[in-house]
Amino acid sequence: MFDVRRLRALREVADRGTIAAAADALHLTPSAVSQQLAALSADVGRPVVERDGRGVRLAPVAHVLLRHADVLLAQVERLHLDVDAHRRGELGELRVAGFATALRGLVAPAAARLRETAPGVGLRIHEAEADEAQRAVAAGDVDVMVSFESAGAPRPGDPRWHRVELHRDVLDAALPSDHPLADGGPVELRALALDPWVLPPVGWACDEVVLAGCRAAGFTPVEAHRSGDWVTTLALVGAGLGVSLVPRLAQVPPPPGVAVRPLSGVPPCRHLFAACRRGSEEGPALRAFLEALSEASEVEARRGQALSGAR
Question: What DSSP assignment string belongs to 20-50?
Answer: HHHHHHHTS-HHHHHHHHHHHHHHHTS-SEE
What rounded mean pLDDT belongs to the chain? 91
Specify the 3-state DSSP secondary structure of 146: strand
Contact predicate 204/229, CB 8 Å: no
Nearest-Å Rg of the Cα atoms of the chain is 23
> Please, what is the Cα angle at 219 between 213 and 223, to 5 degrees?
85
Specify the 3-state DSSP secondary structure of 178: coil
State the pLDDT at residue 85.
61
State the pLDDT at residue 89.
37
- Position 1 pLDDT exceeds 90: no
181/183 Cα distance (integer angstroms) = 6
Q: Residues 13, 19, 22, 27: is their CA dihedral positive or negative? A: positive
pLDDT in tens, 211-255: 999 999 999 999 999 999 999 999 999 999 999 999 999 888 888
- Position 90 pLDDT exceeds 80: no
State the pLDDT at residue 296.
96
Rounded to two decimals, the pTM is 0.74
Provide the residue count of the chain. Answer: 311
Stretch 257-284: mean pLDDT: 93
How do strand 269-277 and strand 144-148 relate by DSSP bridges? antiparallel
